[in-house]
Amino acid sequence: MVKLSIEVNLNQKFTPGIKATEKYRAELRDFHKKEPLFKEERESPGWFGGDFHIHSHHSDGDHSVYELMTYLHGKGLDFFVLTDHNTTLGWKEKYFSKTLVIPGIEISTFFGHFVLINWIGDINWFSLERKSTFEDIAVEIKRKGALLSVAHPECISDPICTGCRWNYPNFCWGIADIMEVWAGSWSERRAENIKTLKRWENLLNQGLKVIAVSGSDIHQLEPYKKDYGRTYVWAKSKTREGIMEGLKKGKVYITCGPKINFQLMTDKDVFVSLGEELEVDCNTSIELLINIENKKNKKKLHIELIKNGLVYNSYDSFLEHIELDWSDKVTKNCWYYLRLLDEKKCIVGLTNPIFIICH
Ligand SMILES: [Zn+2]
Ligand SMILES: [Zn+2]
């Protein structure tokens, strides 16, 4: 006779791989019989925090989309973009949503990885490889209402991660809508992310409006690190359409703690905010209004105001609420963004720019 012994651990949380997937599939079947616990969408406007780079078991991640939705909801994320390598099959798994999922794909080529946000279906990147140009597919990306994000552009490449660094021949940066300036954990990928930040600033100095986002690029659930950037988007509603609209406008900042409000004001009381453009007469005086809430860290925060890629002003503070009112006289076209650093000089927050056009 053969004795079979089965051990059941009811306290078990997430375990990578098939077992966890089966567990959550069973839970999922039960959910179909119940009302949803959470409503994924919300009609009122606000800042919504998300992650723009997540893998599931539909490519090389360990977990189902359902597990990711449950886990990332628990981490306080309002939304995430599902970016499996070269497939959007995971979108079909989105039977029931605890958190807002935006469909996407990460196209992995030998010359770099790019993410399409708000994208479902295939893309013929083999022909792209042969032509070495993006022009052919850029039209289709725009037509479908998707945005193109260059993923981890300064990631380590051969022999550790073949094709992971962005080195696409003849790539016209005007095609890129977004750049992942905060890849993974800032402290662990600091050298890479600082290089990316410089690359982004160079594009801004060339007059290109490329929006900065973060992506954890997680393949496993634990640990979801404290210094993964969370990208906040100002949206009219917590819906796929709302997030995409806010994202396109660049009403976006990235943080792993501090909440940031950054606006410009003219002497005629005109206000502009992140992603916006202000047209003024040359030699106009402007005020730069900075409001930061730093309740979580309670440690010294170094605040840098960057103008055209250079530090224009800086300030150190231990306060939970920081209010700064700086001024400048505009003499030519310029852009400003804010960068927050902790005591170890790691970036803990950065905004997208505000642009000034000077006549
Ligand atoms: Zn990648
Ligand atoms: Zn990835």
What pLDDT score does 10 carry? 41
Of all ligands present, the nearest one to the C-alpha of 60 is 2
d(C-alpha 351, C-alpha 250), whole Å: 9
**How many A from CA of 207 to the centre of ligand 1?**
27
Q: What are phi and psi of 345, to 5 degrees?
A: 70, 20
Residues 6 or more apart whose Cβ sits within 8 Å of residue 103: 81, 82, 88, 91, 118, 119, 120
Q: How far is it, in rounded angstroms, from Cα 271 to Cα 266?
A: 7
Q: Judge whether 131 and 145 are in contact, CB under 8 Å.
A: no
pLDDT in tens, 302-321: 999 999 999 999 999 999 99
Distance 285 CA to ligand 1 centre (A): 43
CB atoms within 10 A of CB 288: 20
pLDDT at residue number 219 = 95
Between the CA of 330 and the centroid of ligand 1 the distance, in Å, is: 40
The pLDDT of 243-251, averaged and rounded, is 97
Top pLDDT among 94 and 59 is at: 59
Ranges assigned E (strand) in the chain: 46-54, 79-82, 100-109, 112-117, 147-150, 178-183, 211-215, 230-235, 252-255, 259-266, 271-273, 277-280, 284-293, 301-307, 310-317, 321-330, 334-341, 347-351, 354-358
What local confidence, expressed as pLDDT, does residue 11 receive?
43
CB of 71 within 8 A of CB of 14? Answer: yes
Residues near ligand 1 ion, CB 5 Å cutoff: 113, 151
pLDDT, one tens digit per residue, over 331-353 is 999 999 999 999 999 999 999 99
CATH superfamily of 36-255: Metal-dependent hydrolases (3.20.20.140)
Mean pLDDT of the chain: 87
pLDDT band at 34 (very low <50, low <70, confident <90, very high): very low
Q: Which of 50-59, 95-104, 147-156 has the lowest mean pLDDT?
A: 95-104
Ligand nearest to the CA of 219: 2
Give yes or no for residue 96 having a pLDDT over 80.
no
Q: CATH code for 259-358?
A: 2.60.40.2550
The CA distance from 236 to 220, in Å, is 32
pLDDT > 80? residue 107: yes
Domain ranges for the chain: 36-255, 259-358
Q: Is it the case that residue 102 has pLDDT exceeding 90? A: yes
State residue 239's pLDDT score: 92
Q: Which two tokens stand for residue 206?
A: 């060339």
